[in-house]
A and B are shown apart, each in its own frame.
Chain A
Amino acid sequence: MYGRKVKLRFFFILLIITTLTLSVFLLVKSLEENVIFFKSPTEIKTLSEIDKKKIRIGGMVKKDSIIMISKEIKFIVTDFKNEINVVYSGVVPNLFAEEKGVVAEGYLKDKNFFLATKILAKHDENYMPPEVKAALEEK
């Protein structure tokens, strides 16, 4: 009925459409699963429920709050309105210090306790993550 060429072209277009739909679907789905939200200590206080997903928190490391023992490091992140306790075992970046900005990635256990899996390194002492800057400016 139809020529071989038409069939081939039809098949070809079908293939492209399927591939496109499939990749868009995959992309959107993976984005939903792998996106990490950023929250400040104040935003965490106002949460209605504790999400099990990985998040990032940011603020200043409170003065005299770092306690380092062999397995872990504990410290307090503050945005000068609210604070949150962080426990972390892992690599500490060079610019991690008290009264400096910090961004930690991990899981929220409750509204006062954050289990960090990663502390993000920064390269520039003058540089502050935009989130921290915004969080600090709001105060």
Chain B
Amino acid sequence: MASLIGSYSLSFGLFFSILIIFFSVKNLKDAEILDKKIITFTFIQFFFVVISFFGLIISFINSDFSNETVFNHSHTTKPLFYKISGTWGNHEGSLLLWLLVLTLFISIFLIKSNQQPKKYRIFTLLFQQIIIVGFFVFLIKTSSPFNYIFPTPNEGLGLNPILQDPALAIHPPILYLGYVGSSVIFSSALAAMVTSYVSKEWAKHIKQWVLASWVFLTLGILLGSIWAYYELGWGGFWFWDPVENVSLMPWFALTTLLHCILVLEKKKILTSWAMILSIATFALSMSGTFLVRSGILNSVHTFANDPERGLFILIFLFTLIFLSIFIFIFFHSGKEKLENNFFWLSKETSILVNNWFMMYFLSVVLIGTIYPIFLEVLTANKISVGPPFYNKLILPFLIPFLIAMAIGPNLNWVKSDFKDKFYITIFLIISFLLSALIIRQFDINFLINTILVTSAFFLFFSTSREFFVKKFRNLSQNIAHFGFSLLILSILFNNIFSNEVITNLKIGETFETEKFTINFENVEQEDEKNFKAIIGKFNVQNLDGSSDILNPELRIYNQPNIITSEADIKTNLLTDKFMTMNYVQNQEYFNIRYQVKPFMIWIWVSVILISFGGFLSFFKKKYEV
């Protein structure tokens, strides 16, 4: 029943797209003010998608296996929470979520933009409707979440257990808020070009959307990363896997856009650049969805998928890109006032420098991600590109990037001089001495590591000082930059100080290293609702006499029949102690991985700080003129 309503709602929703487009085009010629009907229709469309979405959720809650999506991805013994999150844990449902957010955002846009010119609003709505219609057709044609199966099966196939996790339940919605937010920026940029409205006012208004998308995208990536850390048991937070990269690329583009918009807001320069970035961000978000869903990416994260759907997204994506290139070439007037030329040392230049570096990082990730696809098409050679590629190309460029980030925000607009030369020098010297002292203790490449840590410390000290000097001025930016320095420091130290042991142990055996002793005491078995748990009991004795009890777990799920391992992590402010256990059929030995990872929690904290900085920017006007 719920499925049926959901299915009809989708068709009604698509029908309203036609109405909206018709009345918008009519309104464009006729009246001076925006037709109220258009806004009402947009709301009704949103309402229908909400009903459709709830229809799917209710089908999942009731375990209505006559619905194919529910049958494929749910099971009666699954906890209620995961029945609900299972709604968007699959291809069909996640696309419905995309559509839901698309219609939600355009409704919010129409309410929030009533100060903006009528033509601009209507064009944004029209471009957004093109995307919305595309998604409606895609959903209904190739991946309807409401397909009917007869006869109705008694039991569903179940949800992949590694997806049954709180972080992963909210990871897709948050990430999608970021992705879809970029669609509003895209439509709005196209509309602004068509109506020649690329201006300071436009920048001010679209900045809110850029910020919102950016905050959600950052948090979405963070959640995925935290999940990978404790659920996949690889003991890391980033693997340069293609699926991770496709979420990082729009992030780079969006971060660049965020900085570029700041310049555009103050002075009407870099307009073409801002337009290209707006288009690129959305194109990258769409390709992300395409690459993950099409199966052409050779990723360890890939789930079973369907190439036909990929083709549809690809065609749709190319249509949108060609449309935007066409508009950019024929409508965008790149004329910028000449008196706006700026001096080489100024805030504008430093933001441009930021943009260059960001684009460089973006290209590295892009090439690393798509090169294997091209090579396979051209030469049939199957390859993959690993972390060393990214480390080698990104790390050296991080050094000037960090230093520019420390100095840039203190420069003036148009023309500037180095300020606080005294502090810059002092901080550089302190950072260098500190890093050299730390790195010397370790048997690693001294030069590159010292310089890297020095530049990270330099940014850390510079941004810390800002909190005292500037107090509340530029607080949001400063928190974000401070968070970034903390992030880089934590990642570097995490890499340098980490300790790892991988071994196979039988119950009762002990493994000794010079830093700790691991004693595998025993295993216990527990029965849960939808899985059996085998819990290992390990006693780790440290050098200083302290000891930790770690209980990594193996879960044998009944439906689908899959084994997953749950890491046991002991977190404190300084280090994470991380243990996973694995079992290979018919073997006496258990495969054990024990890691001591310093500053792990600070990686998460710093990303939260970064997004908090963005969040704070929303309220900027309230305390700052």
Residues in chain A within 8 A of chain B (CB atoms):
8, 19, 23, 26-27, 30-31, 33-38, 56, 66, 68-73, 89-98, 120-127, 129-131
Contact = CB atoms under 8 A, between A and B. Distances in A.
B502 A90 contact: yes
Contacts of A96: 582, 584
The list of the 10 closest CB pairs from A to B, nearest first, reads A38-B382, A34-B389, A68-B587, A92-B591, A68-B589, A126-B304, A35-B383, A124-B303, A34-B388, A36-B384
A131 B298 CA distance: 9
Contacts of B389: 30-31, 33-35
Among B233, B564, B591, chain A packs the most CB atoms within 10 A around the CB of B591
Nearest to A134: B382
Contacts of A93: 582
B295 A70 contact: no
B502 A123 contact: no
Given A92-B582, A127-B304, 11 more contacts: A30-B389, A37-B383, A66-B584, A69-B504, A69-B589, A70-B589, A72-B504, A92-B584, A94-B563, A96-B584, A130-B382
Contact of B560 (A98, A125, A129): A125
Contacts of B371: 31, 35
B382 A37 contact: yes
A30 B392 contact: yes
B160 interface: yes
Nearest to A8: B344
A99 to B, nearest CB: 10
Interface in B383-401: 383-386, 388-389, 392-393
B302 interface: yes
A95 B232 CA distance: 11
Contact of B586 (A66, A72, A91, A94): A66
A70 B501 CA distance: 13
B505 A70 contact: yes
A121 B504 contact: no
A106 B304 CA distance: 26
Contacts, number: 120
A35 B385 contact: yes
A89 B562 CA distance: 23
A127 B564 CA distance: 15
Contacts of A66: 584-587
Interface residues of B, number: 53
Contacts of A35: 371-372, 383-385, 389
Nearest to B589: A68
B503 interface: yes
A70 B504 contact: yes
A68 B592 CA distance: 12
Contacts of A89: 502-503
Contact of A123 (B162, B383, B584): B162
B381 A37 contact: yes
A30 B504 contact: no
A108 to B, nearest CB: 16
Interface string B356-373: 100010011001100110
Contacts of B162: 123
B116 to A, nearest CB: 36
Contacts of B202: none
B59 interface: no
A68 B506 CA distance: 11
Contacts of B505: 70
B527 to A, nearest CB: 19
A93 B234 CA distance: 9
Nearest to B297: A130
Contacts of B504: 68-73
Nearest to B555: A94
B392 A125 contact: no
A37 B381 CA distance: 7
Contact of A127 (B303, B386, B591): B303
Contacts of A121: 232, 234, 300
Given A30-B389, A35-B385, A124-B160, A70 B503 contact: yes
Contacts of B588: 68
A26 B363 CA distance: 12
Contacts of B381: 37
A47 to B, nearest CB: 14
B435 interface: no
A26 B394 CA distance: 11
A15 to B, nearest CB: 10
Contacts of A37: 381-383
B593 interface: yes
Contact of A38 (B233, B363, B384, B506): B384
A98 B580 CA distance: 21
B263 to A, nearest CB: 18
Contact of B584 (A56, A68, A90): A68
Interface in B585-607: 585-589, 591, 593
Contact of A97 (B356, B383, B384, B585): B585
A80 B371 CA distance: 30
B565 interface: yes
A91 B383 contact: no
B227 to A, nearest CB: 11
Contacts of B586: 66, 98
B163 to A, nearest CB: 8
A94 B162 CA distance: 11
Given A27-B393, A31-B367, A66-B584, A36 B385 contact: yes
B204 interface: no
Interface string B557-574: 000111111000000000
Contacts of B234: 91, 121
Contacts of A94: 562-565, 582
Contacts of A69: 504, 589
B558 to A, nearest CB: 13
Contacts of A129: 298
B465 interface: no
Contacts of B392: 30, 34
A61 to B, nearest CB: 10
Contacts of A56: 384
Contacts of A19: 356
A56 B381 CA distance: 12
A127 B295 CA distance: 10
B301 interface: yes
Contacts of B584: 66, 68, 73, 92, 96-97
Nearest to B300: A120
B385 A91 contact: no
B424 to A, nearest CB: 23
A36 B384 CA distance: 5
A116 to B, nearest CB: 12
Given A36-B384, A91-B502, A125-B562, A98 B585 contact: yes
